[in-house]
Amino acid sequence: MSIPQAKMELRPLGNTGLKVSSVGFGASPLGSVFGPVAEVDAVATVREAFRQGINFFDTSPYYGGTLSEKMLGKGLKALQVPRSDYIVATKCGRYEEGFDFSAERVTKSIDESLERLQLDYVDILHCHDIEFGSLDQIVSETIPALQKLKREGKTRFIGITGLPLDIFTYVLDRVPPGTVDVILSYCHYGVNDSTLVDLIPYLKGKGVGVISASPLAMGLLTEQGGPEWHPASPELKSACKAAAAHCKSKGKKITKLALQYSLANKEISSVLVGMSSVSQVEENVAAVRELEDLGMDQETLSEVEAILEPVKNQTWPSGVDQK
C-alpha cells in the first residue's frame, strides 16, 4: 500500500547518501514527555507527517522511558510502506535510570530499541548527550562499539549529540575520518542563538552531516514561554517573552518565525521539531511551504532580532533534567 506523499525539500546529510526532509519529526513528545499522548493520536501524527513529505524520524530510549520508541514503532508499522521510504534515528547511552556509555550497554541498547521500534535496523544510532559521560570513553569505547554494530547491519550510520558545541570538535578531532557520520546539536541554531553556524565549515570539512533540534529553544520562543525547569537566565527568558509578545501584537506567531529562521539555512540538513498531534504537523508543514513560496517575513524578523540582541547567543549550562 502506498500513501500519496506531498513534496518536501530533501537535503543531503553529510557523506551518508541519505536525503532527509528539511523538517524532521522529533518523537520525544510521543513518549508523553510534555503531556499524555494516546496511541491512536501518535499513530495518526506519524502518518500525517509521512503524508506531508516528512521522511526523517528521531527518537531515543530516554524519551518517556522507552515509550517514544514504542509509539514511533507503532506509527511507522501502521504506514505499511517499504522500510526504505523513511529514515529513523535513535540514540544510546542515556536512559531513564541514568547514563551508561559502556560498550556492553550500548550493544544491548540497540537490540532493545530495534525491538521497540519493530525494525531490523536504524539509519542512525547516536550517542545521546555525550557531555554527561567521559568524552575519552566515547572516543575509545563507545564509538568503536557502534562501529561494530554498523558492521553487523544494526545501524547504517553513527552520530553524537549534546548541548555544548565543543564536545563535537573534541570527539571528531580524536576519531578517524568517516567514523562519525552525523552530529545532532540543539538550541544553537535559532533566532536567539546561531552559534552552530561557526562550526559548520569544520563539520563540512570532516564530511559530517548536521542536524539541528529545538528551533524554539526548548519552548522559549513560544507564546506560553519555556517550562518552569528551563535553565535559561531570567534576562534571556524575558527577552524571548518580549519577542513573542511583539509578534503577537502584529498578528504573527513567533513559533513560525523561529522555525522558518532555522529552516532557511540549507547547510543544516534537517531541523527536528517535536510533534504529537496532526494539527502540529500541519502547522509545521505550513511554515515550510510558506517559506518556500513567500520567503521570510524579514520585517518582523529584524524587529525580533533587535529585541533579542542584548541576549544573542547566550546559552546555559547543560542540565540533567533537559528533555
Q: Tell me: the pLDDT tens digits for 129-187?
A: 999 999 999 999 999 999 999 999 999 999 999 999 999 999 999 999 999 999 999 99
Give yes or no for residue 323 having a pLDDT over 60: no
Strands 122-127 and 87-92: parallel
Kindly state the average pLDDT of the residues 303-320.
89
Residue 63 is among the residues annotated as catalytic for this protein = yes
Per-residue confidence band for 318, with pLDDT thresholds at 50, 70 and 90: confident
Per-residue confidence band for 319, with pLDDT thresholds at 50, 70 and 90: low
SS3 200: helix
- pLDDT score recorded for residue 1: 59
**Candidates 63, 95, 189, 261; catalytic one:** 63
Amino acid at 301: L
Among residues 91, 115, 111, the alpha carbon closest in space to that of 101 is found at 91
Grid cell locating 284: 509545521
Give residues with Cβ within 8 angstroms of 88, minimum separation 6: 57, 58, 59, 72, 76, 117, 119, 122, 123, 124
CATH superfamily of the domain spanning 10-311: NADP-dependent oxidoreductase domain (3.20.20.100)
Q: For 54-182, where are the alpha helices, taking DSSP H only?
A: 67-79, 103-117, 135-137, 143-151, 166-172
Q: Domain extents for the chain?
A: 10-311
Q: How far is the C-alpha of 23 from the C-alpha of 268, rounded, in Å?
A: 10
Q: Tell me: the pLDDT tens digits for 196-223?
A: 999 999 999 999 999 999 999 999 999 9
pTM: 0.96
- pLDDT score recorded for residue 321: 43
Strands 98-99 and 122-127: unpaired
- Adjacent-strand bridge partners of 91: 126
Give yes or no for residue 34 having a pLDDT over 80: no
Kindly state the average pLDDT of the residues 78-106.
97
- Mean pLDDT check: name the lowest of 14-23, 223-232, 248-257: 223-232
Q: What is the dihedral of CA 79, 82, 84, 90, to 10 degrees?
A: 40
